[in-house]
Structure 1
Amino acid sequence: MNKITAHAVNLRTLLNNKYTVQYYQREYNWGTKQIEELIEDLTNEFFEFYKEGDRQIDVRNYGNYFLGPIILTNDNAIIDGQQRLSSLTLLLIYLNNLQKQQANLPKVNIDNYIYSEMYGQKTFCINVPEREECLASLFETDDYDIANEQSESVRNLYNRYKDIERIFPDELKGDPLPVFIEWLIDNVSLVQIRTDSEQDAHKVFVTMNDRGLRLTPTEMLKGYLLSMIDDNTIRNKANDLWKSKVVQLKDMEKDGDADFIKNWLRAQYAQTIREGKKDAENKDFDNIGTTFHKWVQENRSIIGLNSSIDFENFILKRFNMYSDIYIRLKDYSRNFNKEYEYVFYNADRGFTLQYQIILSAIRSDDTRDIIDKKIKMVSCFVDQFISIRVFNFKTVDYSSIRYTVFNITKMIRNKDISELAEILKHYINGMDLTLEGIDGFYLNQFTKRYMLHILARMTHYIEEQSGINSNFADYVNREQKNPYDIEHIWADDYTQGNHQQDFSTEEEFKQFRNRFGGLLILPKDKNRSLQDMEYSKKVIKYDSENLLARTLNKNCYSNNPLFLRFMNEAQLPFKPYEQFDKKALIERQSLYKEICKKIWDVNKIDLLANS
């Protein structure tokens, strides 16, 4: 092997180059979980140093963060590390777009770390031609049409960018933003390992990954638990069960075993959580997230692990039972099941904390019937909790509500059905926020990640109540050939209709156009074909679309007995509009609020408890 060099480089240096990826390893395959972990790790580390009022220059006194090694040849071929570099490029593109929306903040010029340009063509940090159109579109427009995209890597890049949009914490979008960007490019480093040849680079890769493999926290926890069981036969039985469940969890997702154990231990046993201030000490919640195998050993008495039989039951009963429930929850989150619909709704909005909350309510001696009720009740509560916050422009990002969620977890831990129902309803009714916030709800940078979901829920609800075969999952599936998009009832044209009479300025019109009551969902091709059309022509086209769109057309109120019966019984003020002016939009917003009150009714928790 020839000479090998290794040294730490920050992103400012690392991304100021262009890299190639060999044809046999070109797929970008990071999932949502990896992006979530990257954003969480970076933001948590940043807030270790950031103080309110800090400026960009203060970053020189901040600490550094290490993101792992990257293996390169001297001609910049990446042998290991393209997943991280690709993801960091996506993050920088997002941060650049975010800066465009924050004109009042100092701008950090990061274009050179995203792309270089020659002859009018952008070349990105990782130079793979099939990715360039997607990355350029994300950079320039914050979006990309993947409807007919065949490349797995490009589809993954787009979806992970949308994950970053959803996950990136709101508290970093204001004054801390330029400081965070400076810290990211100057203080976040990787160890760059360079070799003279690709062959040598592969040898380094194999040596780093195949020799002296360390046990995972799951394996170390298993080893500890089994070592405390006296009977050889029972120990072997527990070992077989553990291995079987771990296989199922890993088949479900790469780190499914560790994710389950973290959620389970936090749900059932964690009593404390780290304070949100610099130099605060890690507590139960945090230690379970990093070294749960050590936490179990150090807290065995709290868990109730005092004798051999306790350890037997911990694996054969509790681990067995809660892992089965977790596997069910993951299935419900991916495949729409009407009986457990709220788990799917919460997952569609990326709320991964629901698993912890649901598991906390379930006792180890609950029957299957009780477990099922608790899953339905708690997931319904989570759905209402998320929706109320979103309608009032309050974030549900992990870093912002982890303390709230932890307190809810402890509050409902191991409660029986009747007490659980009262606690959940009391919490919703006691929130400072209510669904009345819908009066001022509109489409903006924050709400756009939730708006399609909300409009799809409303569409699905009124169709289902009107006897129409409706599939919510189809409305929110971004992977299908012709996905649904948000439709503005008003075209973006101030000169159409009565807009100049209703609004004194074009800016006022544009703001009003984004209000909740002026939105629908339509298939993407229909949305594009109608976007410049005036309302009197659009409303004719709406008559052949989903029911929420059809209700604008007078034909919806003829020969439609099931819808009319639902409308009257629910006392919802649907009406058709030949002209859709400012007054009509305000009326439609009130209608939407009443529909939402039906969908997110706190009394549904009682109905589920008594079902």
Structure 2
Amino acid sequence: MDISPDKQNIDSVFSNTVYYIDFYQRDYKWTAEPVQRLLDDIYYQFGEAYQKHLDLDPGKETVTAYYPWYYLNTYVTNVIDGRVYVVDGQQRLTTLTLILIKLHHMAKTYESKTAPWLENKVAGYSGVERNFWMNHVRFKSVLDGLFEGEDPGLIQTSGGITAVNMVSNYLTIDQWLDKCIDSQHKLETFVFYFLSRLVLINLAVEQTDVPMVFEVINDRGVRLRPYEILKGKLLGQIDKIELDKGNYNEIWERQTSKVNAYRDNEIDAFFRSWLKARFVLSRKEGQRFDGDYHREMFKSDMNQVLDLEHNSIAVKSFLAGTFRYYSNLYARVWDGAQKLNDDYPCVFYNNLNDLDTQFMLILSSCRLDDPEETQKIALVSRQLDRFFTLLQLQNSYDSNQVITELFLVARGIRDVSLEEIAPVFEKHLRHILEQRRSGAVSESFQWGYFRSASIVSLNKRFIRYYFARIDQFIANGMKVSPKHPIQDLVSRRGEKTGFHVEHILSNNQFNLDAFGGDDERFDAERNRLGGILLLKGKDNISSSNEVYVEKLKTYAGTLYWNETLRSDTYKSKLDFDAFRKRYGLDFHELSKFGPDELDYRHRLLFDLSSVIWGQD
């Protein structure tokens, strides 16, 4: 490895070298805080010395003799085909450019002879073309606007976060320098200090060493995200000409932006899900990717599979094929998680229950460019919803056990055909049920275990989700629109606009007597799902202690499941009659509500659940 250190002041750094932003570099992400800190650090020693030497004329000799030098850290470059690329240090060099632009404007305002010198530190000229030494090609218009003195508020920043931060940080610099420098003498002294006494070390490295140097530097400085380091380790293997010709950097940026559109740095979650989906056999194996997965990818065992170490051909294939396809698939699942998609509605439902494991499972089931992708998204997400719901309804859900089992499901459905997926879920669902019951299981959903399903053992979000799905199923059967979007039923919890649990059996003496005056039995029975409804907040509060016949009035115009208690639901409803007959569902009105009626409603819920979450 060859590293060539070179000590330079600002006057030397920005003199005749155009610096290109390498693909390793992030956007310009510095905000006001690091900019302010840099300005404070630079000015501190200058201010101390300036107070002692107010009577001296500005000049290089004066500043060199009486002002201490200040170390601004290191920046790393490498040269490819005559171009100098900044591997590390873009944030600082860009900020220094913004400071130079402001100093240039101040010099013109004070009619200082340093103005041409400062202009040459910002940019060079080829004919009439201005070339900024910090060559932000995509954001040249922003730098042009700032350099020309345009109103920063009118400069177009829609190009991205780099443009936004350039303008915002320039305003910070503008206000800071205007406050601290209030005379031509002080300005010119500061210019000589800034250009002559601020020192950086340039490390020029060979192209083959760039990924390693990049990672080490950033491990010891502002830590990059794993995907940012992975980008350098992959793209650093590709020749610059091939990199441009194959648009591999553009592929990386496009796919990363697609995934990160849903959540900041979501691309790291993508890589972890993809690695677990495609390469691990168990939850324990998958835990290796929870941290610095970018390092795990290049360890010997993983490199035997991925073959991405010192293999530019494999890297190019990975970027154009594997990375492109699976990141698109991941983004597609994310989109389905945010808004209901008729092709795979359970992706949305799983998101309501925070079942992020669906990403790993779907990525596992789909082969590269899988022609059955849509069907697999639908089937895997439905099977996960069924898996989760049936365990909840039978008091057999343990999050730790379920996650462990789902890693085995992911292994079992990896690259299999569509018809092989459901049996894998069924096998592992029954395995959990057998462990919970210490015996063989003939069916994955049994009345004996549902009979005691109660709000006491279920979390409130799932209870709302369960009744939301019941109501949606009834609405579809009646060929009417749901009364409320399912996400509102699940997520809204406000006192007035939220949906809350309603006990059909109020806690009063009349109802207690119906259960033989047995307090324990009464509490246990009234909490069973058959004795529960969802009501909007104010309705729930107003009906809390009414007798049943009065509650029936309250249930009018609420959810369809609630209304099936009422007689008017069954009058001249042809679509509802056809729905009942189609599924053999014993819906009928209830003029009174006691132990037998509660048992009937609970059994009806079992029948509904068997249809909704039954095996295809």
Same fold judged by TM-score > 0.5? yes
1:530 is aligned with what amino acid?
A: S
Work out whether residues 515 and 521 of structure 2, in 8 Å CA contact, stay in contact via their aligned partners in 1.
no
> Residue 414 of structure 1: CA displacement?
1.1
Does residue 457 of structure 2 align to residue 448 of structure 1?
no
2:385 is aligned with what amino acid?
A: D
Distance 1:400 1:427, change over 3 A: closer
Match of 1:410 in 2: 411
| Residue pairs, 1:37-436, within 5 angstroms | 212-230=221-239, 232-234=241-243, 237-274=247-284, 284-298=285-299, 299-305=302-308, 307-367=311-371, 370-397=372-399, 399-428=400-429, 432=434, 434-436=444-446
Match of 1:571 in 2: 584
Work out whether residues 428 and 602 of structure 1, in 8 Å CA contact, stay in contact via their aligned partners in 2.
no
**Can you give the 5+ residue segments of structure 1 that lack an aligned partner in the other structure?**
1-24, 26-208, 275-283, 604-611
Work out whether residues 336 and 473 of structure 1, in 8 Å CA contact, stay in contact via their aligned partners in 2.
no
Q: Equivalents in 2 of 1:392, 1:263: separation in Å?
A: 29
Work out whether residues 543 and 556 of structure 1, in 8 Å CA contact, stay in contact via their aligned partners in 2.
no
Q: Equivalents in 1 of 2:377, 2:398: separation in Å?
A: 20
1:373 is aligned with what amino acid?
A: Q
2:269 is aligned with what amino acid?
A: D
Task: Between 304-313 and 380-389, report the one with greater CA deviation.
Answer: 304-313
1:81-100 Cα offsets, whole Å, 9 max, x none, are xxxxxxxxxxxxxxxxxxxx
> Residue 427 of structure 1: CA displacement?
4.5
TM-score w.r.t. structure 2 length?
A: 0.59
Match of 1:459 in 2: 471
Match of 1:539 in 2: 552
Work out whether residues 445 and 610 of structure 2, in 8 Å CA contact, stay in contact via their aligned partners in 1.
yes
Match of 1:523 in 2: 536
Q: Equivalents in 2 of 1:272, 1:538: separation in Å?
A: 51
Candidates 600, 603, 609, aligned match of 1:587? 600
1:301 is aligned with what amino acid?
A: Q
Work out whether residues 439 and 589 of structure 1, in 8 Å CA contact, stay in contact via their aligned partners in 2.
yes
Candidates 484, 498, 510, aligned match of 1:496? 510
CA RMSD of aligned residues (A): 2.4
Distance 1:273 1:390, change over 3 A: closer
2:235 is aligned with what amino acid?
A: L
Q: Equivalents in 1 of 2:297, 2:236: separation in Å?
A: 13
Work out whether residues 467 and 562 of structure 1, in 8 Å CA contact, stay in contact via their aligned partners in 2.
yes
> Residue 227 of structure 1: CA displacement?
2.6
Work out whether residues 530 and 603 of structure 2, in 8 Å CA contact, stay in contact via their aligned partners in 1.
yes
Q: Equivalents in 1 of 2:402, 2:425: separation in Å?
A: 17
> Residue 602 of structure 1: CA displacement?
0.8
Task: Between 249-258 and 554-563, report the one with greater CA deviation.
Answer: 249-258
1:384-424 Cα offsets, whole Å, 9 max, x none, are 11011101223352x33332111111111111223334434
Work out whether residues 543 and 555 of structure 1, in 8 Å CA contact, stay in contact via their aligned partners in 2.
no
Work out whether residues 518 and 585 of structure 1, in 8 Å CA contact, stay in contact via their aligned partners in 2.
yes
Q: Equivalents in 1 of 2:283, 2:576: separation in Å?
A: 50
> Residue 429 of structure 1: CA displacement?
5.9
Match of 1:602 in 2: 615
2:257 is aligned with what amino acid?
A: V
Work out whether residues 550 and 556 of structure 1, in 8 Å CA contact, stay in contact via their aligned partners in 2.
yes
Q: Equivalents in 2 of 1:237, 1:583: separation in Å?
A: 70
Q: Equivalents in 2 of 1:323, 1:396: separation in Å?
A: 30
TM-score w.r.t. structure 1 length?
A: 0.59
Match of 2:488 in 1: 474
Q: Equivalents in 2 of 1:258, 1:396: separation in Å?
A: 27
1:291-338 Cα offsets, whole Å, 9 max, x none, are 110111111221254743221121111111111111111121121223
Q: Equivalents in 2 of 1:357, 1:396: separation in Å?
A: 19
Aligned length: 382
Percent identical residues: 25
Candidates 546, 555, 572, aligned match of 2:568? 555
Work out whether residues 282 and 404 of structure 2, in 8 Å CA contact, stay in contact via their aligned partners in 1.
no
2:452 is aligned with what amino acid?
A: G
2:580 is aligned with what amino acid?
A: M
Q: Which has the larger radius of gyration?
A: 2
Q: Equivalents in 2 of 1:569, 1:304: separation in Å?
A: 55
Q: Equivalents in 1 of 2:351, 2:250: separation in Å?
A: 31
1:233 counterpart SS class: helix
**Can you give the 5+ residue segments of structure 2 that lack an aligned partner in the other structure?**
1-32, 34-217, 435-440
Q: Equivalents in 1 of 2:461, 2:607: separation in Å?
A: 22
Q: Equivalents in 2 of 1:579, 1:479: separation in Å?
A: 30
Task: Between 569-578 and 231-240, report the one with greater CA deviation.
Answer: 231-240
Distance 1:304 1:272, change over 3 A: farther
Q: Equivalents in 2 of 1:467, 1:288: separation in Å?
A: 47
1:431-453 Cα offsets, whole Å, 9 max, x none, are 53632222110111544331111
Q: Equivalents in 1 of 2:510, 2:531: separation in Å?
A: 15
Work out whether residues 360 and 413 of structure 1, in 8 Å CA contact, stay in contact via their aligned partners in 2.
yes
